Structures are given as structure tokens and as C-alpha cells.
Amino acid sequence: MAGLGVCFVWIIGCFIYASQVDPSGMTGVVPAPFIPSRNEHVIENDFCNVCRMDVIFVLFVSSVFIGSSIGLSVCFYGLCLFFHDETSDIPSKFDPDYMAFNKFTWLTLCLTSVFLLAFTAVSTVTLLGFHTILCFQGLSTIDYVQKMRDRMKQKRAKRVEVHPGYDATGSTGGHDVRQV
């Protein structure tokens, strides 16, 4: 049980460190504007073209997923202990002598952690899946965004219906343009 606690503290520390430290701030590199004509991707060949640093995107997102999954497992285990049958001969884990705060405060913190860690795990799996699909389709993120913009423009163009006999300028020789 102590090993799980150490893992949990390590994961929380890593999340805090990762969210507080700017990797380009340590080197003094100023972010560069992204120019799509020069580079196809923001992150290309394990190199970030904006922060001008070597990065391993898949490894980073995978480590976030693994960390959130471990944290989720620890919190879920804690929830199982909370609802464990207390009729056994084992002393209760929620004896007030061993608790630093109220058991319902602990339950609230644990449920909040489960929700946030589950959200993080699902988000990172979705991100990995999205980039895997793009990789198999041979698209960059920018190509995908441009493709989606073109589809939206085509949908908007199809929604415009032209009626003969009315001109948008008010003359009778044109066409009636109405949104459907």
C-alpha cells in the first residue's frame, strides 16, 4: 500500500512539474511563428518547429495516459477500500485515529480525482487515436484542418438555394438567393 502512495505522490509531482515548467524557458528560446509553407507539421520528425526543440510527442502523450491510468487505479482502489465490508476482523482503514481529515472529505477528494484522471486518460487516448488515424491516412494536422474547412465551405455552398426571377440587388432579371 505504501508503494501505491509513493507512486501517487510521484505522479502528482510530475503533473505539477509538467504544467508549471516551460521547456523553452530553460533554454531561453523564443517561440517562432509557424509557417505552413516551410514545414508541414508543428511537430515534425520529433522536432517542434515553434519552440525549436527536440520533442517526442507520442512518448509524452503516452506517459500522460500511463500516469493518469495509474493514478486512476490508485484512487479506484481507495474507493473500494472506502466501501469495503467493515464486518471483518481487520481494523477499519477509516478509523478516526488514523485519518488526518473527515472520511467524507476524503471521499470527495477521491471522487474528484477519479473524475479528473478518467477525463485525462480518455482525452489522451482520443488524442493518440486521432494522430494514429492521421498517420495511417498520410495527413498532417494542418492538412486535416484544411480538409475539414473545405468540407464546411462545401456544405455552406450547398445550403444556398437559388430561385429564378429575383436578383439580390432588387432587379427582376436575376435570381432569388435564400438560405435553406
Least Cα distance to 19 among 27, 11, 28 occurs for: 11
Q: What was the pLDDT predicted at 155?
A: 85
C-alpha cell at 86: 467493515
Reported in sequence order, the residue ranges of the chain that DSSP labels E, i.e. its strands, are 43-44, 47-48, 53-54, 160-164, 175-179
83 or 90, higher pLDDT = 83
Contact 56, 49 (CB under 8 A): no
Q: Is the pLDDT of residue 25 over 70?
A: no
Rounded Cα gap, residues 76 and 116, in angstroms: 12
- 51-85 tens-digit pLDDT: 777 777 777 788 888 888 888 888 888 888 777 76
Rounded Cα gap, residues 113 and 1, in angstroms: 18
Above pLDDT 90, what percent of the chain?
Answer: 4
Burial class (CB in 10 A: 0-12, 13-18, 19+), 24: middle
1 or 67, higher pLDDT = 67
The residue assigned the cell 481529515 is: 101
The per-residue pLDDT of the chain, averaged, comes to 75
Amino acid at 32: A
- 117-132 tens-digit pLDDT: 999 899 999 988 888 8
Burial class (CB in 10 A: 0-12, 13-18, 19+), 165: exposed
How crowded is the C-beta side of 72, counted as CA atoms within 13 Å?
14
